Amino acid sequence: MSNVNAELASAYKTILDVVGRTEPRIADATRQELTDQRGSLKLIASENYASLPVLATMGTWLSDKYAEGTVGHRFYAGCQNVDTVESVAAEHARELFGAEYAYVQPHSGIDANLVAYWAILANRVESPALEQVGAKTVNDLTEEDWEALRRAFGEQRIMGMSLDAGGHLTHGFRHNISGKMFHQRSYGTDPETGLIDYDALAASAKEFKPLILVAGYSAYPRRVNFARMREIADSVGAVLMVDMAHFAGLVAGKVFTGDENPVPHAHVVTTTTHKSLRGPRGGMVLATKEFAADIDRGCPMVLGGPLAHMMAAKAVALAEARTTEFQTYAQNVADNAKALADGFLKRGTRLVTGGTDNHLVLLDVTSYGLTGRQAESALIDAGVISNRNSIPQDPNGAWYTSGVRLGTPALTSRGFGADDFDRVAELIVDVLSNTTPAATSTGAPGKAKYVLADGVADRTKAAAAELLDAHPLYPGLEL
């Protein structure tokens, strides 16, 4: 740990003592969260541990400033420092990812996707419905024209990966606004291999002719060929939008290069900053210059005012992501996922797609006679934090599910290596093999209740504690 972190470690004790004088319950919950995070195997694929400099940057008076607008063009006075913060964060993002343009205001990944959808509509749609009301783009519409706008929206189409194949609900899911603004069609994966079938996708896109082809995922354990995705988009005149929320860290760390790096191939790339990228919670949009002016309308079109303290923390995290240390980290994330997958495969656990080549592994827990919900709960009892997830053609639906998603970014940040992840697989197999479904009160087979054999939770927690103690979280930080 560097000296900077040692200084910050002692600063946090003081900060929480001071916070506790105003609202002790918040100071206590914050301390307890650290204890809980230190004491559990965090395998949620979308979570990580940001560095202390990133965390510290979030807690400053930059939070007090309103700054609607864009750099040099704000609706509030006195934004010179926010301008610096936003420019530095955007510069890092452009240079790190090699993008022509970066917008660092989105407060989350979902916000980033909304900004992108709006910008693509504004930039690309020239419909008779707009012309009828004398508008050139959706940005020109007046209040009275909203009805016409909805009609204009109704003619647009979006195509993204289905939820059960690993897509995200903002990729056209019917209960998300993306599935309401646009006509929607999804693409799945090959039922045999679990992999994206690019030829089938191309044929479906040819038939459906989407305005936007969305690539990217939350639970697909494989790399995507973005050059092929762009070819498909171009063949039907679609905009290629890639949501790299999950794997931005692997792009930043140059594990995904060439056809697997979305930035040179996509028109628009959205991301979160807090998953494998290991920054503060937030979102970001990268794009070709063609979309810049429309994306800049993100606030106030679909976003609240920019959070200067969060953009500052994004800048610090992006600066970290430009180091060779981060590249080593990203490679370790992928190598560790492979070790975790191999650990399951050699112990007979079924994995969706038969393995991984990114940062996540998707277990098919039907091989243990369990639902995802039962497996997730039993694992929590044993101190293993993961999340249940649908698998392709899931027999148990989106609530109970049949899968458990595990990711390596967080524990890799603590320094876990391949042998540690093999041991993690062994512990999880032990828990799942000793969990049995329990019947409901009516005697019917249950999808939620389960019985974990005596002693398993304790022995798993003890073994996990050994691993966790060997790789402390925020060493030196005592509260």
User: By the criterion CB under 6 A, which residues form the site for ligand PLP?
Assistant: 46, 108-110, 168, 170, 216, 218, 243, 245-246, 272, 283
**Closer to ligand PLP at the Cβ: 363 or 468?**
363
Give the type of residue at 284: M
Residue whose CB is less far from ligand PLP, 243 or 342: 243
Q: Give the Cα separation of 298 and 211 in Å (integer).
A: 19
Smaller CB distance to ligand PLP: residue 273 or 435?
273
Q: Report, in Å, the least distance between residue 269 CB and ligand PLP.
A: 11
- If the CB atoms of residues 57 and 272 are measured against ligand PLP, the closer one turns out to be 272
Residue 369 CA to residue 236 CA, distance in Å, equals: 43
Residue with tokens 């660092």: 104
Question: What is the distance between the alpha carbons of residues 272 and 281, in angstroms, rounded to a whole number?
Answer: 7
Alpha helices in 346-453 (DSSP H): 372-381, 397-400, 409-413, 418-433
Query: How far does Cα 220 stand from its chain's mean position?
Result: 12
State in angstroms the smallest separation of the CB of 218 from ligand PLP. 3
Q: Smaller CB distance to ligand PLP: residue 52 or 114?
A: 114
Supply φ then ψ for residue 185, to 5 degrees.
-140, 140
Closest C-alpha among 51, 34, 476, 45 to residue 280: 51
CB of 241 to ligand PLP, least distance (A): 11
Q: Which residue(s) pair with 212 in the sheet? A: 158, 239
C-alpha 322/C-alpha 88 separation (Å) is 13
What Cα–Cα distance (Å) separates residue 370 from each residue in 164, 404, 427, 440, 446? 18, 10, 17, 14, 9
CB of 172 to ligand PLP, least distance (A): 12
473 φ, ψ (degrees, to nearest 5): -90, 130
CA–CA separation, 111 and 96 (whole Å) = 21
Q: CB nearest ligand PLP: which residue?
A: 109
- Dihedral (Cα; 235, 240, 244, 245), 10-degree rounding: -140
Smallest distance from the beta carbon of 22 to ligand PLP, in angstroms? 29
- Measured from the CB atom, the residue of 135 and 310 that comes closer to ligand PLP is 310
Catalytic residues: 66, 68, 243, 272, 275, 281
* Count of CA atoms in the C-beta half-sphere (13 A) of 184: 20
Closest approach, Cβ 108 to ligand PLP, in A, equals 3
Rounded-to-integer distance, Cα 152 and Cα 101, Å: 28
**CA 456 – CA 380 distance, rounded (Å):** 12
Q: Of the two residues 261 and 434, which places its CB atom closer to ligand PLP in the complex?
A: 261
Tokens read off for 396 = 């148990």
DSSP state at residue 436: E
CB of 66 to ligand PLP, least distance (A): 22
